[in-house]
Amino acid sequence: MAAVDYEQQWEDAPVAPPPPPEPDYYAQEAVEYQITPDYCNSLTAPTETFFCEQNANVYGLNFVDFKIRSVDEGYERTLFDMSRGDRPAPPPPGVGNDAARFIRYHFGPEFLDINTVGTSLEFTNGPYEVYNFRMIERHYFRDQLITSYDFTMPFVMPNSRNTWEMIYSKPLLSDEWKEALMSAPWEARSDSFYFVNDTLVMHNRAEYNYGW
């Protein structure tokens, strides 16, 4: 499949948003090989299953707080803050024991007008040193890649509490794209893959609602 510059595509706005996907009546085959960062960065659609078991997190990494804010000049504000009591929407049916790593955010249409978003992820680490803690986060709408982010924390001390600050520059959206996203709740999806020295230790999935 040819590579496409989606950010430039949206900026020029020549392409309509993709149509709703056809139902998938076939179960995704089990992944029988090692998941690498390069593989995750090559994905062209959101995953339909988790790429690792919860017990892959042998380091005892645990996310304890999360905040999302707009950092646009003149529009600085907090959008989501677990410490003030904000909580994600309930996960979809059938998630079962994976509910803690399947997240739904209802941001509303104003979120689509924000150009730059900052996040603060607070987490604790277990008894082991962590080297090259890497997060790859890929966002999609109806199986089309919107944008991808890649952040690395070189070292995490054992038995520590840490804050990871990240800045996301969002791609420009045409009015047509905004309308499509607002009219299709939970069809915008993302995968967040967490690696330690290129070994996958956590995988979170998310869905987004930009409607009222």
Quick: pLDDT tens for 128-157.
999 999 999 999 999 899 999 999 999 999
Tell me what pLDDT residue 99 has: 94
Q: What is the mean predicted confidence (pLDDT) over 169-180? A: 94
Q: For 96-156, where are the alpha helices, taking DSSP H only?
A: none
Is 174 a residue whose pLDDT tops 60?
yes
pTM exceeds 0.75: yes
18 vs 43, residue with greater confidence: 43
Give dist(CA 135, CA 150) in Å, integer.
6
HSE-CB of 174 using CA atoms within 13 angstroms: 15
Residue 208 tokens read as 């987004």
Is 2 a residue whose pLDDT tops 70?
no
112-131: string of b/e by CB count within 10 Å (b at 16+)? bebeebbbbbbbebeeeebe
Tell me what pLDDT residue 126 has: 94
